[in-house]
Amino acid sequence: MHLGMGLIPIVPILLLPFILVFFVIVFPIWGLALGVLGFFLLVVRGINALANAVGVHALDGATQGMQRAFHWVLTFGGFAERKNPK
| Residues 13-67 pLDDT 10s | 889 999 999 999 999 999 999 999 999 999 999 999 999 999 988 889 999 999 9
| Spatial contact of 30 and 76, defined as CB atoms under 8 Å apart | yes
φ, ψ for residue 75 (rounded to 5)? Answer: -100, 25
Alpha-carbon distance of 72 to 79, in angstroms, equals: 9
Q: Where are the alpha helices (DSSP H) in 1-86?
A: 10-21, 27-54, 60-74
Does residue 23 sit in helix, strand or coil?
helix
| Spatial contact of 48 and 63, defined as CB atoms under 8 Å apart | yes
User: What pTM was estimated for this model as a whole?
Assistant: 0.71
